[in-house]
């Protein structure tokens, strides 16, 4: 019969894993026969009647007789060319993969069509697929699995689960190749013995910084020894679990070390947990002793009545400081952590010394380990910010102690104030942070934090899904290497890491000696790209749960893949779903149960449900986790059914909240409660979670709205509105913060806002205790009135400082009369081309507003007393007006003239033919950065744009002088002594004249310096300063940016290192001493100050032949980080060391320091010679550059948008032009050669000794 007879029938096949494959085939045969008996029902009709989902795949079998004829007299020749015909395609093709996807979608009903064609002696498989859903690799794997099963036809009598469907080579990859980072070792140690070894090797190195407290390794070792001896005396033995109820202080670290040294296992307990939860945890371990580092208040009596409690803060750490003998073995319990449990009670996870040692030990750098990560990033200062009950604190504390790093420990109060935390990070040169993405996103909202992370080398994110958008945001401000970590508490901190370099955010590959398997429900591996359950094996797998044998047996099972007794024979069932990609990395999908993570905290929803069920009259409870994708807020919602019908709904909700708060940690308390009259059920009788009523959060917010009344209430409401993206009428004085979804992250933000606004002491605990806005506002008001609780915050306070010390002039030894004479001619002049017509009157008014805005601009210099000390002061003048001076091309040179610094203000503005603006300030009141601030703000005022109130220079000098008095500068002095210990001579490039080379020592003397001043000021004989300039093009610009990012160093360090190397080559000196010009604007607030803040920092670098160039760059970077934090005037330290200031100067100006895109439609910065060109005049003073009277040579690097401009200023009377050319060429050559970074300095010098550049160098030296 000819016609369209083909039919499509739906078929539902259940794969019974415990039946034989032959039985499975026969059962399907019977099913097919029944389908054929009912084939007259159309597919469309069946879908309509049975309410079936749209079918997306199809199987088509085409027997041989469809295409062949049994007629032996057939006149047509049959061409056996394997051409593929599809029942669902009106065309044919030799290769279906050649069909365009859009073309395929236009004729196919299915996303996947499996065609099987029977031939005389074989079969042909053809798969047609939608490439928008499936990739070619997946389809090829599907075919290979099909072939693998067919190849085992002789095993079809076996049960289906025993039939292998993954090809052998792929199975080998996912079990062994993807888990190949195996590093066996015999000398397994305990972490505390490793710490003791470090303490002996580095006794004076700082182990812990805690606010202003510094504890070195020797002291920490002795303190833990002392406490450890006491624990032994109190009969603490191997495997005894000793709880530590802690605050965030060094006492916790001392306590855990002491417990380990004594042989016990430590159990951190958060003092902020509810009383019942603390008591439950203690009852689970029945401790001999509890170490306490804080006031545990309400439960203190309960605990002390039942347990032996010892306050470690009262311990005498000067007694019994000798080392204890180690009694612990590697399989002994090291620590216990309690996590959320499904039964309504937390469960205690047991980890051994072996588990922890394997995680933190030294590995070869090529291994995927925490050690390799830290070593590669050259980590030195680690931020200790993680809660001690969260095991990622081992990344911060334990690892640091075993490798001699410095822990920058953050107190609870500091962790809640992001502004102060950022200052703390900057002050202590933190280069490593490990935290959750949610917490870091909160930190990134702070402007100062975004600035300080530029010095952070590496960031590890753990605990929750890492959004790539956060990585991109971080890389706008920092070159930090970002890592995504994954691992449950049961398997020792982290099991896999991924270095995030693009938007492929996986959880990475297993770390050394950890093995990850993705299995089906029969514990068989699933193919690459197929989802399965994540199991973890290897050295990190713990010992199970305390007092939970049944759960331990369920979650920790014998590994079917390895019998290697070096590592654990168990694998841990994580409950997480994931899949492998082709690179051997794991893509995390989610959970297979009701466990969730909020802000990195693991939460079993069933624990919350079972806890709330304990409340009287509660009949049923279900808790769900939901996320508001628009506002990016996470919520826990509790649905409950009560047996009491008449009770007020609001009243019972309040009681349930109080009950939950007394039993559960704050992060596990539901945000919203909803009373159910009836439970929505499925036909099976199970709860239908999808049918639970949705909660309108905005309606809850409006339910009890009462307008705020006091100023504090209004302020708090305004902050809450911003934090929660709520409308004004949704937040009132009776709003309960927990009802609208307050969590720890938002509480931290709220604390930061309140603290910064009112300058009071307030923490998250205070928010928890006052969750209703009117109560919280009253608490704030009480804190404001209680002077004792006001914090001494390190801020620049505004005051009426109309007389103030001149910051950089106050330490000079010159008499005021001499200073006045010298300073009258030292000024900074900038020229700006105006790109549009300017209203002179309006510009004059804007300039005078600038004088009122920055009082330093209307000041004169005089001699006076500050705090009883005679010094150089600035004195603000009243009723001072600035008039813009107008010139034409014939007379504008008269604008530049000396300032009478004691009688007239030290700023002038000129205008040449209404097209060129001249800004001239005496150097007493300005630096280059201040000039940029002035011109930028001047035109903002001119354009009627709003500006925030700046910090006054007078306020800053008062703040600085007070800080200088309070600071012990002995560390700074000692550091300079160490830095200059090998620097005997000032760096000197070879002069032209043999005579001048011979009198170099005389030229650095005081009489000669006075002669130079006399020559300049009296005889009017300026030095013949020349500028040579060159450009580092875009390719070098990109290389420098890439290198700085890759090795996490600053560009300043990069440039000054290479510059020092070149100077070493041409001066034949190994210790290169130069002066660095530093803008000295450490904080965002200081970036608004106009005034002379710039510092000239002495910098010395030993150019060691055995170091690589990269080693030197990193060394320079660390020196710079230290120098930036110093308070004392650099010249004071030089004077104490009896070292003269170097005449070789280096200056690096980043783009945002010297350039501004703002208002570029109004003005553009131009050079003086461009001014002369503009008016068709010749600039006769082209060789005059004022770079400082003691400076003979200056290298200045200016960052532009896509390149660098390098300027070499030098005294032409002293230096040969060829020498400077050679310096420029070598500098440019090295900085553009990436391969030299890993090259020894000695080899670099050899390379240039054989070059043409060096021939010129030798020639110059012979002439001298």
Tens of pLDDT, residue by residue over 53-96, are 777 888 888 888 776 655 555 554 455 555 544 544 444 444 44
How far does Cα 721 stand from its chain's mean position?
27
Mean pLDDT across 790-811: 62
Looking at the predicted structure, is the pLDDT value of residue 1007 above 70?
no
Q: For residues 243 and 281, is the Cβ–Cβ distance under 8 A?
A: yes
Judged by average pLDDT, the poorest of 63-72, 671-680, 760-769 is 63-72
The pLDDT of residue 1097 is 86
Looking at the predicted structure, is the pLDDT value of residue 1103 above 60?
yes
At residue 178, what are phi and psi to the nearest 5 degrees? -75, -15
Q: What is the 3-state secondary structure (H, E, C) of 1005-1040?
A: CHHHHHHHHHHHHCCCCCCCEEEEEEEECHHHHHHH
The pLDDT of residue 237 is 95
- Integer Cα distance of 1111 and 143 in angstroms: 53
Looking at the predicted structure, is the pLDDT value of residue 1055 above 90?
yes
Mean pLDDT across 498-514: 94
Q: Is 677 exposed, middle or buried (0-12, 13-18, 19+ CB in 10 A)?
A: exposed
The pLDDT of residue 692 is 85
The pLDDT of residue 735 is 84
- Integer Cα distance of 1209 and 1192 in angstroms: 8
Domains and CATH numbers, the chain: 21-169 (no CATH), 595-695 (3.30.300.30), 701-789 (1.10.1200.10), 803-960 (3.30.559.10), 980-1263 (3.30.559.30)
User: Is 153 in a helix, a strand, or coil?
Assistant: helix
Mean pLDDT across 1057-1067: 91
Q: List Cα–Cα distances, 604 to 390, 555, 594, 601, 1188, in angstroms.
A: 16, 15, 6, 10, 68
The pLDDT of residue 1008 is 55
Judged by average pLDDT, the poorest of 70-79, 256-265, 631-640 is 70-79
The pLDDT of residue 1077 is 87
User: In this predicted model, which residue has the larger pLDDT, 1225 or 966?
Assistant: 1225
- Integer Cα distance of 556 and 545 in angstroms: 10
Eight-state DSSP code of residue 525: B
The pLDDT of residue 744 is 60
The pLDDT of residue 1186 is 56
- Integer Cα distance of 558 and 568 in angstroms: 9
With the CA atoms of 43, 48, 51 and 54 taken in that order, what torsion angle do they form, in degrees rounded to the nearest 10? 50
- Integer Cα distance of 337 and 601 in angstroms: 13
Q: Which pair of structure tokens corresponds to residue 582?
A: 């082709």
Mean pLDDT across 901-922: 92
- Integer Cα distance of 63 and 65 in angstroms: 6
Mean pLDDT across 1098-1126: 85
pLDDT band with cut points at 50, 70 and 90 for residue 670? confident
Tell me the average pLDDT of the chain: 82
Q: Which residue has the tokens 């009017």?
A: 1020
Sign of the Cα pseudo-torsion (1220, 1221, 1222, 1225, in order): positive
Q: Which pair of structure tokens corresponds to residue 893?
A: 């040179």
- Integer Cα distance of 197 and 195 in angstroms: 5
Name which of 495, 570, 578 is nearest 534 in CA terms.
578
pLDDT band with cut points at 50, 70 and 90 for residue 932? confident
Helix 353-360 vs helix 191-201: angle between axes, to the nearest 10 degrees? Answer: 50
Mean pLDDT across 612-624: 86
Computed on alpha carbons and rounded to an integer, the radius of gyration of the chain in Å comes to: 38
The pLDDT of residue 457 is 95
pLDDT band with cut points at 50, 70 and 90 for residue 956? confident
In 1104-1185, DSSP assigns E strands to 1144-1149, 1163-1166
Pairing of β 1204-1211 and β 1193-1199: antiparallel
Mean pLDDT across 316-335: 96
pLDDT band with cut points at 50, 70 and 90 for residue 682? low
In 581-632, DSSP assigns E strands to 586-591, 595-598, 601-604, 618-628
The residues, ordered by sequence, that sit 6+ positions from 145 with a Cβ below 8 Å of its Cβ are: 165, 166, 167, 527
The pLDDT of residue 1020 is 46
Tens of pLDDT, residue by residue over 100-138, are 555 544 456 788 888 888 888 888 888 888 888 888 888
Looking at the predicted structure, is the pLDDT value of residue 1132 above 90?
no
Looking at the predicted structure, is the pLDDT value of residue 36 above 90?
no
- Integer Cα distance of 454 and 326 in angstroms: 42
Mean pLDDT across 195-199: 97
Name which of 357, 333, 239, 341 is nearest 543 in CA terms.
333
- Integer Cα distance of 1069 and 1102 in angstroms: 9
At residue 341, what are phi and psi to the nearest 5 degrees? -125, 155
User: In this predicted model, which residue has the larger pLDDT, 1131 or 794?
Assistant: 1131
- Integer Cα distance of 499 and 583 in angstroms: 13
Phi-psi region of 1215 (alpha: psi -120 to 50; beta: other; left: phi over 0): beta
Q: List Cα–Cα distances, 846 to 162, 194, 397, 804, 930, in angstroms.
A: 86, 65, 55, 25, 17
Mean pLDDT across 815-826: 77
Read out DSSP for 635-661? EEEEEEEES-SSS-HHHHHHHHHHHHH
User: In this predicted model, which residue has the larger pLDDT, 422 or 82?
Assistant: 422
Alpha-helix runs per DSSP H in 370-522: 370-376, 393-396, 398-403, 412-415, 418-427, 437-443, 447-452, 468-474
- Integer Cα distance of 338 and 284 in angstroms: 10
User: In this predicted model, which residue has the larger pLDDT, 321 or 29?
Assistant: 321
The pLDDT of residue 1256 is 40
Q: Which pair of structure tokens corresponds to residue 805?
A: 């010390």
Name which of 1030, 936, 969 is nearest 1224 in CA terms.
1030
The pLDDT of residue 635 is 79
The pLDDT of residue 94 is 44
Type and span of the H or E element at 787: none
pLDDT band with cut points at 50, 70 and 90 for residue 647? low
Q: Which pair of structure tokens corresponds to residue 266?
A: 């430590």
pLDDT band with cut points at 50, 70 and 90 for residue 909? very high
**pTM listed for this prediction:** 0.58
- Integer Cα distance of 765 and 889 in angstroms: 69
Q: Which long-range contacts (CB under 8 A, 24 or more apart) does 662-666 make?
A: 662/274, 662/275, 662/276, 663/274, 663/276, 663/277, 663/611, 663/614, 664/274, 664/277, 664/607, 664/608, 664/611, 665/270, 665/272, 665/273, 665/274, 665/277, 665/601, 666/272, 666/744, 666/768
The pLDDT of residue 1260 is 32
Q: For residues 560 and 519, is the Cβ–Cβ distance under 8 A?
A: no
Q: Which pair of structure tokens corresponds to residue 1177?
A: 């005049």
Tens of pLDDT, residue by residue over 940-955, are 899 888 887 888 888 8
Judged by average pLDDT, the poorest of 225-239, 904-918, 1036-1050 is 1036-1050
Q: For residues 644 and 607, is the Cβ–Cβ distance under 8 A?
A: no
- Integer Cα distance of 461 and 203 in angstroms: 32
Looking at the predicted structure, is the pLDDT value of residue 360 above 80?
yes
Q: What is the 3-state secondary structure (H, E, C) of 1124-1176?
A: HCCCCCHHHHHHHHCCCCCCEEEEEECHHHHCCCCCCCCEEEECHHHHHHHCC
The pLDDT of residue 804 is 84
In 1022-1175, DSSP assigns E strands to 1025-1032, 1071-1078, 1095-1102, 1144-1149, 1163-1166
Q: For residues 1101 and 1060, is the Cβ–Cβ distance under 8 A?
A: yes
Name which of 866, 887, 888 is nearest 875 in CA terms.
866
Looking at the predicted structure, is the pLDDT value of residue 99 above 60?
no
pLDDT band with cut points at 50, 70 and 90 for residue 14? confident
Please give the share of the chain, as a percent, with pLDDT higher than 90.
34
Q: Residue 1242: beta bridge partners? A: none
User: Is 93 in a helix, a strand, or coil?
Assistant: strand
Tens of pLDDT, residue by residue over 1217-1249, are 899 999 999 999 999 888 898 888 998 998 888
Type and span of the H or E element at 1223: helix 1217-1231
Tens of pLDDT, residue by residue over 830-870, are 999 998 888 999 999 999 999 999 999 999 988 888 777 78
């Amino acid at each position: 019969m000819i016609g369209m007879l083909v039919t499509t029938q739906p078929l539902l096949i259940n794969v019974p894993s415990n039946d034989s494959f032959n039985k499975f085939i026969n059962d399907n045969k019977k099913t097919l026969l029944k389908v054929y008996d009912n084939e007259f029902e159309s597919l469309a009709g069946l879908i309509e009647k049975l309410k079936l989902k749209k079918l997306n795949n199809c199987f088509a079998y085409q027997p041989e007789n469809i295409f062949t004829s049994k007629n032996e007299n057939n006149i047509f020749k049959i061409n056996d060319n394997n051409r593929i015909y599809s029942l669902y395609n009106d065309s044919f093709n030799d290769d279906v993969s050649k069909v365009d996807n859009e073309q395929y979608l236009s004729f196919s009903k299915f996303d996947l069509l499996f065609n099987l064609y029977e031939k005389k002696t074989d079969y042909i498989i053809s798969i047609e697929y939608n490439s928008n859903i499936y990739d070619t690799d997946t389809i090829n794997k599907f075919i290979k699995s099909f072939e693998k099963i067919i190849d085992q036809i002789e095993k079809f009598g076996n049960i289906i689960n025993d039939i292998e469907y993954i090809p052998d080579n792929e199975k080998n990859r996912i079990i062994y190749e993807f888990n190949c980072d195996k590093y066996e070792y015999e000398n397994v140690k305990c972490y505390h013995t490793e710490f003791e070894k470090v303490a002996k090797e580095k006794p004076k190195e700082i182990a812990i910084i805690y606010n202003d407290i510094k504890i070195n390794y020797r002291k920490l070792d002795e303190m833990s020894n002392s406490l450890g001896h006491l624990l032994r005396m109190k009969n603490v033995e191997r495997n005894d679990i000793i709880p530590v109820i802690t605050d965030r202080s060094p006492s916790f670290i001392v306590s855990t070390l002491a417990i380990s040294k004594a042989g016990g296992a430590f159990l951190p307990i958060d003092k902020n947990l509810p009383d019942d939860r603390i008591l439950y945890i203690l009852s689970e371990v029945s401790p001999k002793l509890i170490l306490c580092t804080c006031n545990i208040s309400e439960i203190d009596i309960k605990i002390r009545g039942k347990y032996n409690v010892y306050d470690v803060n009262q311990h005498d750490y000067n007694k019994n400081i000798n080392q204890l003998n180690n009694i612990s073995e590697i399989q002994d319990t090291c620590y216990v952590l309690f996590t959320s449990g499904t039964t309504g009670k937390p469960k205690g996870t047991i980890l051994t010394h072996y588990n922890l040692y394997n995680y933190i030990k030294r590995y070869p750098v090529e291994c995927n380990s925490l050690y390799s990560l830290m070593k590669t990033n050259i980590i030195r200062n680690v931020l200790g910010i993680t809660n001690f009950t969260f095991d990622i604190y081992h990344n911060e504390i334990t690892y640091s102690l075993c490798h001699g790093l410095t822990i920058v420990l953050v107190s609870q109060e500091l962790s809640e104030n992001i502004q102060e935390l950022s200052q703390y990070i900057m002050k202590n040169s933190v280069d490593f942070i490990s935290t959750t993405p949610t917490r870091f996103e909160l930190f990134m909202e702070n402007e100062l934090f975004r600035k300080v992370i530029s010095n952070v080398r590496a960031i590890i994110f753990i605990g929750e899904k890492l959004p790539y958008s956060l990585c991109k945001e971080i890389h706008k401000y920092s070159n930090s290497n970002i890592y995504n970590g994954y691992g449950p508490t049961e398997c020792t901190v982290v099991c896999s890491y991924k270095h995030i370099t693009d938007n492929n955010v996986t959880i990475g590959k297993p770390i050394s000696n950890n093995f990850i398997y993705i299995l089906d429900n029969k514990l068989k591996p699933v193919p690459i790209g197929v989802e399965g359950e994540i199991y973890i094996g290897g050295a990190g797998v713990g010992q199970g749960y305390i007092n939970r044998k049944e759960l331990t047996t369920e979650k920790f099972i014998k590994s079917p893949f390895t019998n290697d007794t070096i590592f654990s024979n168990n694998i841990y069932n994580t409950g997480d779903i994931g899949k492998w990609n082709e690179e051997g990395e794991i893509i995390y999908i989610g959970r297979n149960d009701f466990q969730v993570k909020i802000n990195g905290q693991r939460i079993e929803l069933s624990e919350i449900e079972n806890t709330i069920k304990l409340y009287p009259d509660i009949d049923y409870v279900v808790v769900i986790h939901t996320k508001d994708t628009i506002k990016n807020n996470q919520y826990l919602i509790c649905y409950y059914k009560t047996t009491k019908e008449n009770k007020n709904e609001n009243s019972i909700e309040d009681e349930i909240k109080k009950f939950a708060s007394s039993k559960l940690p704050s992060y596990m308390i539901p945000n919203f409660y909803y009373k159910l009259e009836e439970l929505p059920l499925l036909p099976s009788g199970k709860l239908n979670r999808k049918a639970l009523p949705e909660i309108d959060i905005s309606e809850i917010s409006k339910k009890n709205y009462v307008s705020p009344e006091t100023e504090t209430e209004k302020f708090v409401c305004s902050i809450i509105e911003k934090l929660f993206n709520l409308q004004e009428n949704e937040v009132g004085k009776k709003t309960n913060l927990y009802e609208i979804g307050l969590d720890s992250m938002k509480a931290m933000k709220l604390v930061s806002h309140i603290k910064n606004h009112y300058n009071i002491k307030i923490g998250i605990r205070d928010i928890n205790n006052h969750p209703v806005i009117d109560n919280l506002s009253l608490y704030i008001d009480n804190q404001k009135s209680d002077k004792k609780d006001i914090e001494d915050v390190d801020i620049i306070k505004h005051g009426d400082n109309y007389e103030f010390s001149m910051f950089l002039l106050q330490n000079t030894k010159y008499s005021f009369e001499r200073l006045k004479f010298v300073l009258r001619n030292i000024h900074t002049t900038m020229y700006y081309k105006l790109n549009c017509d300017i209203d002179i009157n309006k510009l004059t008014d804007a300039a005078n507003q600038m004088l009122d805005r920055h009082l330093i601009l209307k000041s004169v210099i005089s001699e006076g007393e500050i705090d009883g000390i005679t010094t150089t002061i600035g004195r603000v003048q009243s009723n001072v007006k600035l008039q813009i001076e107008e010139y034409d091309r014939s007379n504008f040179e008269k604008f530049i003239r000396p300032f009478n610094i004691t009688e007239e203000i030290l700023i002038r503005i000129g205008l040449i033919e209404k097209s060129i603006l001249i800004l001239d300030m005496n150097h007493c009141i300005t630096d280059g950065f201040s000039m940029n601030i002035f011109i930028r703000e001047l035109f903002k005022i001119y354009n009627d744009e709003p500006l925030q109130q700046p910090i006054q220079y007078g306020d800053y000098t008062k703040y600085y002088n007070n800080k200088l008095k309070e600071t012990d500068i002995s560390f700074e002095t000692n550091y300079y002594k160490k830095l200059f210990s090998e620097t005997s001579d000032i760096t000197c490039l070879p002069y032209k004249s043999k005579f001048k080379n011979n009198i170099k020592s005389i030229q650095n003397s005081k009489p000669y310096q006075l002669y130079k001043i006399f020559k300049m000021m009296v005889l009017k004989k300026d030095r013949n300063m020349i500028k040579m300039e060159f450009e580092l093009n875009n390719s070098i610009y990109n290389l420098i940016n890439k290198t700085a990012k890759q090795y996490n160093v600053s560009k300043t360090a990069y440039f000054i290192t290479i510059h020092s190397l070149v100077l070493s080559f041409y001066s034949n000196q190994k210790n290169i001493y130069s002066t660095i010009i530093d803008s000295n604007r450490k904080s965002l607030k200081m970036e608004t100050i106009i005034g002379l803040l710039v510092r000239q920092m002495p910098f010395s670098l030993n150019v060691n032949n055995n170091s690589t160039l990269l080693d030197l760059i990193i060394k320079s970077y660390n020196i710079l980080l230290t120098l930036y934090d110093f308070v004392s005037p650099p010249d004071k330290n030089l004077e104490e060391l009896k070292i003269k200031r170097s005449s070789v100067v280096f200056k690096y100006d980043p783009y945002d320091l010297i350039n501004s895109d703002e208002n570029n439609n109004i003005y553009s910065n131009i050079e003086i010679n461009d001014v002369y060109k503009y008016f068709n005049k010749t600039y006769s003073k082209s060789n005059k550059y004022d770079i400082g009277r003691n400076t003979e040579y200056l290298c200045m690097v200016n960052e532009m948008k896509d390149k660098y401009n390098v300027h070499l200023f030098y005294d032409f009377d002293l230096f040969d032009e060829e020498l400077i050319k050679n310096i420029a060429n070598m500098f440019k050559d090295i900085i553009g050669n990436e391969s030299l970074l890993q090259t020894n300095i000695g080899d670099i010098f050899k390379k240039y000794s054989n070059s043409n550049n060096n021939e010129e160098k030798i020639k110059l030296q012979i002439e001298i």
